[in-house]
Amino acid sequence: MEFPQQQKPAGDGKIVYPPGVKEITDKISNDEVVKRLKMVVKTYMDMDQDSEEEKQQYLGLALHLASEFFLRNPNKDVRLLVACCLADIFRIYAPEAPYTSHDKLKDIFLFITRQLKGLEDTKSPQFNRYFYLLENLAWVKSYNICFELEDCNEIFIQLFKTLFSVINNSHNQKVQMHMMDLMSSIIMEGDGVTQELLDTILINLIPAHKNLNKQAYDLAKTLLKRTRSALDFTPCLPPFLCLSGVMGKSSVSDLSEHVFDLIQELFAIDPLLLTSVMPQLEFKLKSNDGEERLAVVRLLAKLFGAKDSELATQNRPLWQCFLGRFNDIHVPVRLECVKFASHCLMNHPDLAKDLTEYLKVRSHDPEEAIRHDVIVTIINAGKKDLNLVNDQLLGFVRERTLDKRCGYCTDENTNPHINCQ
C-alpha cells in the first residue's frame, strides 16, 4: 500500500458528521460520546469503496477518529466503537490509507490490536462488535498495510500474541477462521517471517503451553499447515531448529531449550515443515560428541518409530545413517538404538529386514546390557505378534540361550534360560 500526501477535509476544513450526529469532543460525557459514535459506526458500515462523494465528505472525520482523544480514551466502549470505525475506514479507502504518518499508522494498528482482546469473552454484550472488528480486518487484510512500516514486526507480534491468548473453547468456527485468515495473510504475503514472530506461533506447541490452551495449540497447528509453503522459503525455521545449543551453536530463539519437543510436534503436524532440518540431523548423527549423538538418536527414534511415520522410506539416507548408530562406539547410543528396535518392529514390521542385520551384530555386543536388550526387544515384539519376528530374529534368541550371563533368561534361582523356554 502506498502512502499518498495528506488529503484535507472537504470544504472549509471543518469536520463533517453524518446527519443527526453532533460534534464529538472531550466536552461531552462518555455516554453522549458513545451514543454519537454508534451513529458514526453505522454510517461507515453502510459505505463502500465506490462512495467517492461520501469518502471525500467524511475524510475529515476519518482523520479526527485517529486523534489522541480516541486512541487514548479510557472508556472501553468508546475504544471499541472507534476501532470498528477505523477498520471500516481502511476498507472504504483501500488500497490507499487516509493516514500518511507511519507513526500514526503504527499507533492505529496497535490500538486496534488491543481492542481484539475483547474477543475473549463470548458472553459479553459487546462480543458481536468485537467479532465484526475481527471479521472486517480479516476480510480486508487490513494489517497488510503495515508491511510498509519499518517496525511492522512489533505490530504483528502483538497481534499474534493477542489472538493466541484470547482464543478459547467458547469460540465458534467463524471466529477461528477469521483469526486464521488474518495471521496467514501476514505470513503468506510478507517478505519473510522473523524469528520473534515465529516464536509466537511455536511457543503454543510446547507441552506446557499446549496443556494450558488446546485451542491455541490447534490454531498454531493449522496456521503452520496452511503457511508451510511460505515457511519453507524463510530463513527462520531451519536456523531455529539447527542452531540451538544442543545442536552446536547458540540460537536467537527464546525457545532453544525446547528444540527437540518442537521438532517432534512439527513432524507430527507436517513432516515437510522439517525438510531443511533433516540434513542437519543427519550431520549431527556423525558428531564427535557422544552425548550429542545420543540426543539426536533419541529424537530420531521417536520420529522413525511413530506409528504413521513414513520417514524411513521417504528419507533413506537419514535412515541408513541412523542404523549406523547401532555400531556406535558410545555404549548409551547403541543401547538406545536397540531399545528403539522393539517399538519400531511393532509399528513398522516392513522395516524388520533392515533392523535384523544390526540386531544380529548387537546380539554379540561386548556389553551384557545390550545383549540382554536385544533379547528383550525380540521377545516383546513376538509377544505382541509372532509374525513381527522373523526366523533370523528367533535364531538370535536361541543362540543367546548359550550365553551364561543372559540376564533375561535366568530366574532368581539361577535356573538358566527358564524365561526362554
5-55: pLDDT as tens digits: 334 444 445 899 999 999 999 999 999 999 999 999 999 999 998 888 999
Whether the per-residue pLDDT at 247 is higher than 60: the answer is no
User: How far, in whole angstroms, is CA 368 from its chain's centroid?
Assistant: 44
Give me the pLDDT at residue 356, please: 85
pLDDT tens column, 296-305: 999 999 999 9
Contact criterion met (CB below 8 Å) for 334 and 341: no
pLDDT tens column, 371-387: 888 888 888 777 776 76
Contact criterion met (CB below 8 Å) for 232 and 192: no
Question: Which amino acid is residue 49, in one-letter code?
Answer: Q
Output phi, psi for 416, to 5 deg: -65, 130
- Calpha distance 62→390 (Å, rounded): 77
CATH annotation of 277-402: 1.25.10.10
- Which residue has 534360560 as its cell numbers? 417
- Calpha distance 293→327 (Å, rounded): 12
Q: How confident is the model at residue 252 (pLDDT cuts 50, 70, 90)?
A: low
pTM, full prediction: 0.84
- Calpha distance 224→380 (Å, rounded): 37
User: How far, in whole angstroms, is CA 112 from its chain's centroid?
Assistant: 23
Which residues have a Cβ under 8 Å from the Cβ of 184 and sit 6 or more positions away?
223, 226, 227
User: How far, in whole angstroms, is CA 313 from its chain's centroid?
Assistant: 26
At 6, list the grid cell: 495528506
Helix axes 368-384, 352-362, angle to 10 degrees: 150
Give me the pLDDT at residue 411, please: 44
- Calpha distance 318→301 (Å, rounded): 12
Contact criterion met (CB below 8 Å) for 77 and 126: yes
- Calpha distance 315→303 (Å, rounded): 12
The proportion of the chain whose per-residue pLDDT surpasses 90, expressed as a percent, equals 63
- Calpha distance 176→86 (Å, rounded): 22
pLDDT tens column, 385-406: 676 666 677 776 777 666 555 5
User: Exposed, middle or buried by CB within 10 Å (0-12, 13-18, 19+), for 112?
Assistant: buried
Output phi, psi for 410, to 5 deg: -125, 130
- Which residue has 538358566 as its cell numbers? 416
At 379, list the grid cell: 521377545
Averaged pLDDT for residues 189-217: 92
User: CA neighbours within 13 Å on the CB side: how many for 410?
Assistant: 12
- 250 vs 137, residue with greater confidence: 137
Give me the pLDDT at residue 403, please: 57
Q: Kindly report, as residue ranges, where domains of CATH 1.25.10.10 are found in the chain.
A: 277-402
Q: How confident is the model at residue 420 (pLDDT cuts 50, 70, 90)?
A: very low
Query: If phi over 0 gives left and psi between -120 and 50 gives alpha, with beta otherwise, what is residue 265?
Result: alpha
Averaged pLDDT for residues 340-361: 88
Least confident of 82-91, 205-214, 237-246, 264-273: 237-246
Contact criterion met (CB below 8 Å) for 97 and 105: yes
Angle at 165 between CA 158 and CA 99, to 5 degrees: 30
